[in-house]
Every structure is written in structure tokens, then in C-alpha cells.
Amino acid sequence: MGPARHPGWLKGLLIGLVLGALILTGGVQHGTTAIEDTYENLKVFTEILSLVQSHYVDEIKSKELMHGAVKGMLETLDPHSSFMPPEAFREMQVETQGAFGGLGIEITVKDRMLTVVAPIEGTPADRADLHAGDRIVRIEQDLTKDMTLMEAVRKLRGPKGTKVTISILREGRSDPFEVTLVREIIEVKSVRSKALADGIFYARVASFQERTGKDLERVLEQGVQGGATALILDLRNDPGGLLSQAVAVSSMFLEKGQLVVYTQGRQKSQDMRFTADSAFSLATLPMVVLVNGGSASASEIVAGAMQDWKRAVILGTKTFGKGSVQTVIPLSDGSGLRLTTAKYFTPKGRSIHNLGIVPDIVVEIPRPEAVAKPQGADARRPATADRPREQKIGDQEGQEVEIGRRDLADPAKDLQLQRAIEILKATRILEKKPDGKSEATAAAK
């Protein structure tokens, strides 16, 4: 077989790829050497593309080949960089608005395995007792090994009322178990709150959406007006979300101008600094932030800023460690490119990525021991999201529940919350002034 002849469209494609690569990498500034290197590397690609077009047993559309090539290229980078076909790109744009179809589960690829970051509170995934760190080894009949995040998302989503069965591998259990979930329209309530005893106010942020900052400000203002003199901010199982909202939340508890987070990338345009700038400030209110292994991304930015400035006591377990910045770039055909372009750093220069935030006070949640599986039909029945709630703790499948995750601000069932309350009470005792009032009380008024 002689050398492959490249059709005209391939030559045009090659030129476009070379120019695109040079623009993205800044290679134009390095002269002809960069151009020659890029051209030589892309030559093999175009030869393979031409051979597939001409000789593959079935006729393949050029668009499918190009999408497959781009997808494979991005898979060599990191789990968070991906190509989104038009339909997937539209779905992604809906997510941050707080309502989307699916299971209510945040996933990522960790150690080359599809991993649960956190279930979203009140969703099918939450009711099925999925845990942060669970490995999803199968979706229906499809193994998830080498499956991209976007592929997994598409398989997990579907019309409201339809079911999907996933196989979970959980730490401490030798064999995977199946969970069947019923898809719903996921409408995430970002902020929930509750006044506790002794002037302690509790606020939980489930995810960082477009209105999280405004919603949190509203409930905190109500809390202070109601006499709150200390705060517990619960970021457990919060998988993150919008960077702008992480900055907005952090700004409420820092002095104006204090650094919240900064990013560093290869390009200078990716080096950014974000400082506190909020008209609403509770910069002196005693505060504890609760985190765990399901706290990721935006949650870790808030926790890291509070910890670096010694603004709050961070209590719980080590966070997830998702500290990279993804830039979403719309493409001309309606598809999108999600590309990791920088990494987050806390105000004192600590990297979050793959390291997470280690709490000031580590408090592990004890898990109930799994009961022995029954014999007969019940032993074969998969766990489902619509089984009675009272069966969830120590049920037939021996699933474990993170205590206190569903009972909003119930110290009797939540060891970490108990410890947070004890710390705030101790802090107020130490801050008491001779007149019996604390510094925090005076500041709040």
C-alpha cells in the first residue's frame, strides 16, 4: 500500500488544528520550531484519520471520528477535562441553576475509578444511603472502568420515574452490592438553617449555586436578628459548585480585602486573586465549620480561607481534595470543552488539589456495624431508594449510614455537631467580659 493521500478537507483540518494548538499553547511566540513540531505530531493523526475514512469496514462519519479523537485526547489529561457534545453541554449549563434531572449524585474519577463525591441532600442518591468515597463499578450492565465522567453522567441521568441500577464497592465491604434508584427532577435547596439552643445558629450549605450567597446572607441576617451569637456552618457532603459563590460565602466572615483564594495556571490570564468584598459581614461571630470527605471544591475554598485566617475552627474529617479550576469553553457547533486550566490555593499558599483540607479538630463519625445478611429472597433483593426509611440503618443489605446527615441539626444524633456546640460554648466562656457580655454579642448588636 502506498502512502495515504489526504483529501482536501483533511488538509484544511490539519492547518486548523495546527493554528488552534498554537493559539491555545502560545506556540506562535516560539517561532517556526513550534510550528514544525506541531505539524509533525499532527501528521500521523491525519494519516490515521484518512486510512480509517478510506478502509475501515463500515462507513464512519467524519464528525464521529473527530469527536472520538478529541475525547481520547482529553482523557489523557485529567478526570475533570472533557469534551461535551451539544446535548451534554446543554445539560451542564442547567446544573448550576439548581434544577436538573437525575439521581442527585456528584461523581468524579479518583484513582482511575468512578467515585461518589457526595450525594445531594434530599435526592434519590441521598435516600439510598450512598456515601462519599463509594466506588461505582457498574451502571446497569456496563462496567465503569475506563468510562469518562460525561459518559457516566449520561448513563445515570434519564426521564423522571425511570430506574437505574448501580453496583457499589464500599470501603469495609468485600463485595459490591447493588442499589436501584428512581430518577427525579433534582431541585436542590442550597441553604437550610435552624436556631439551636444557647444562641447558636446552624446553617447548612448543600451546594454552591447561583443564589447560594444571597440565600445564606438572608438566613444569617434572620439568625442574628433572632439573637444568634455564634454560628455553625455545615459544609459536609457539599460537592461544591460555583467559584463566585464560594467567594461570596467566605466574604461574609472575613474582613473586607482579605484574600479568599487564588488560582495559578500556565497562562498568566489564569492567575487570579479573589478577596472579601461583602456589605454584609459577620467577621467577629464565633464560628465552627463542619467538613468531611464529601466536602469538595467550593466547600474546600471556604474551609481553607476560614482556616488560614484563623477565622473559624474547622471540625470533622479530611475533605475530598478537588482543587482544580475548569474553564468551560463553548464551541462553534454547540458542543463545549471543559478544560482544567489552573489550581486553587488557600490564602497562605496551600494547594487543595489531591490533598484536601485537614480539620483543626478531627472527629470521626462512628458507623454502625453491618448486620448479617438474611437467607432466602431478602438476601438477593437489591437495596432500593424507595424502601422504608426505617430500614436504612443496619438494614438487610448491611448498609451503613453517616449519622446525622439527614436529621438537620440534631446534636443527639450527630457527634460532630455535638463537638461544634461544645467548642462554641467554651469560646464564649473564655470571651466573657466583666459585665457578663461577650465580645461577639457586642459585635452582633
Grid coordinates standing for 205?
Answer: 450549605
Q: How far apart are CA 406 and CA 132, in angstroms?
A: 14
Residues 6+ apart with CB under 8 A from 357: 291, 295, 300, 303, 304, 307, 314, 318, 319, 346
- DSSP, collapsed to helix, strand or coil, labels residue 189 as coil
Q: How far apart are CA 58 and CA 233, in angstroms?
A: 57
Grid coordinates standing for 5?
Answer: 493521500
Q: Is 392 among the catalytic positions?
A: no
- DSSP, collapsed to helix, strand or coil, labels residue 233 as strand
In 241-390, where do the E strands start and end? Answer: 259-265, 272-275, 287-291, 313-316, 324-330, 336-345, 361-362, 383-384
Cα→Cα distances 142→74, 124, 138, 163, 165, Å: 22, 21, 5, 15, 10
Determine contact, residues 223/287, Cβ cutoff 8 Å.
no
Q: How far apart are CA 22 and CA 18, in angstroms?
A: 6
Grid coordinates standing for 99?
Answer: 434544577
Of the candidates 167, 207, 297, 299, the residue annotated as catalytic is 297
Q: How far apart are CA 358 and CA 348, in angstroms?
A: 14
Q: Is 129 among the catalytic positions?
A: no
Q: Is 308 among the catalytic positions?
A: yes
Give the phi and the psi of residue 162 in degrees, each rounded to 5. -85, 160
Of the candidates 234, 238, 308, 414, the residue annotated as catalytic is 308
Of the candidates 234, 322, 324, 395, the residue annotated as catalytic is 322
Determine contact, residues 361/419, Cβ cutoff 8 Å.
yes
Could you tell me how far CA 131 lies from the centroid of its own chain?
A: 14
Catalytic positions are 297, 308, 322
